[in-house]
Amino acid sequence: MDRATLRHYLTFYRDLGVKSVFVGGETEESASPVETEEHGVEPTNPLEPPQAFSRVDLVDSSDDNLERIRQDMGDCKRCRLGAGRNKIVFGSGHVEARLVFVGEGPGADEDEQGLPFVGRAGQLLTQMIDGTAGKEGLAIRRPDVYICNVVKCRPPENRTPEPDEMEICGQFLFRQLMVLRPRAICTLGATATKALLDTREGITKLRGRWQKWRDIPVMPTYHPSYLLRPYNQNAKREAWEDLKKVLHYVYDEPARPLSDF
Ligand code: SF4
């Protein structure tokens, strides 16, 4: 890769707020950090062209935090979704949440209020969290968890986000998750599950089975908007089962190993 192209990539990631990246197929432990020339550090070699955005991993930066991520996002127009939104929906919840829910993207209500999961699907999610935790004897309510989406701006006509939009905005999601470092993540629906797990398997196959994003357990389940459809009663029961597993894994005291669930 020539230096101009390299500079272009590094500037792009710096604008996302990424201070260091690993490039190529090396492991995180063995790779050397690469910083922009503006930071006065020459790129280390060998430098392979980034063949896909997903090959460039964020470093867990110990001085990162949610406020800084939001500041780095600014009045973001880094992908085409920025053009049609009203409000960026960054995420909300407890900043020390042990459980994070990740959905696909904001809908109309969320776009208007700037908050995730506040429409009908959001109300169902709240009922699911509060109701399941209550029945299972766990003193957990929605404000105790953190909720965000893969893309932070509403896609037009609520369409599924495009892969490049998820790649770009996903960098902010990854930073949120690295800062929060929850005990588990629950992905809501196929899009969020694919964004984190980079899989081709459908949600009906993946749901209810523990996966991992980096070293964090991930439980994929259905998106609440899917559960709102009247003919999906089975899916509703399955989603409740998935949620029960996650809540017990995260909040049972004393903590039990993942293999128990
Ligand atoms: S969806 Fe994400 S990357 Fe795209 S404009 Fe909105 S905040 Fe920026």
Site to probe by mutation for ligand 1, drawn from 15, 69, 76, 104 as the one with most ligand atoms within 8 Å of Cβ, is 76
- Alpha-carbon distance of 212 to 111, in angstroms, equals 30
Read off the pLDDT band of 114 (50, 70, 90): very high
User: Based on the structure, what is the number of domains in the chain?
Assistant: 2
Mean per-residue pLDDT of the chain: 84
Q: Which residue's alpha carbon is at the smallest distance from atom 8 of ligand 1?
A: 76
Read off the pLDDT band of 14 (50, 70, 90): low
Residues 167 and 46 in one domain: no
Of residues 35 and 161, more confidently modeled = 161
75 in any annotated domain: no
pTM given for the model? 0.81
42 pLDDT above the threshold of 90:
no
pLDDT digits (tens, 9 = 90+) for 18-38: 555 544 433 333 333 333 333
Between 14-28, 36-50, 112-126, 165-179, the lowest mean confidence (pLDDT) is in: 36-50
Per-residue pLDDT, 58 = 53
Residues 49 and 119 in one domain: no
For the Cβ of 34 lying below 6 angstroms from any atom of ligand 1, the answer is no
Query: In this prediction, what percent of the chain has a pLDDT beyond 70?
Result: 77
Q: Which residue's alpha carbon is at the smallest distance from atom 2 of ligand 1?
A: 169
Of 140, 137, 228, 215, which is closest to residue 188 (Cα–Cα)? 228
53 pLDDT above the threshold of 90:
no
For the Cβ of 88 lying below 6 angstroms from any atom of ligand 1, the answer is yes
Residues 42 and 125 in one domain: no
For the Cβ of 152 lying below 6 angstroms from any atom of ligand 1, the answer is yes
Torsion angle, alpha carbons of 50, 168, 196, 92, to 10: 150
pLDDT digits (tens, 9 = 90+) for 177-231: 999 999 999 999 999 999 999 888 999 999 999 999 999 999 999 999 999 998 8
Per-residue pLDDT, 40 = 31
9 in any annotated domain: yes
Residues 30 and 107 in one domain: no
Residues 26 and 94 in one domain: no
Q: What is the 3-state secondary structure (H, E, C) of the chain?
A: CCHHHHHHHHHHHHHCCCCCEECCCCCCCCCCCECCHHHCCCCCCCCCCCCCHHHCEECCCCCCCHHHHHHHHCCCCCCHHHHCCCCCCCCEECCCCCEEEEECCCCHHHHHHCCCCCCHHHHHHHHHHHHHHHHCCCCCCHHHCEEEECCCCCCHHHCCCCHHHHHHHHHHHHHHHHHHCCCEEEEECHHHHHHHHCCCCCHHHHCCCCEEECCEEEEEECCHHHHCCCCCHHHHHHHHHHHHHHHHHHHCCCCCCHHHC
Per-residue pLDDT, 231 = 84
For the Cβ of 76 lying below 6 angstroms from any atom of ligand 1, the answer is yes
24 in any annotated domain: yes
Read off the pLDDT band of 43 (50, 70, 90): very low
Enumerate residues 6+ apart whose C-beta is below 8 A from 135: none
Between 5-9, 86-90, 127-131, 148-152, the lowest mean confidence (pLDDT) is in: 5-9
**What CATH number is given to the structural domain containing 186?**
3.40.470.10
Residues 143 and 208 in one domain: yes
Residues 154 and 195 in one domain: yes
Per-residue pLDDT, 198 = 83
Q: Which domain holds residue 214?
A: 83-260
Residues 36 and 159 in one domain: no
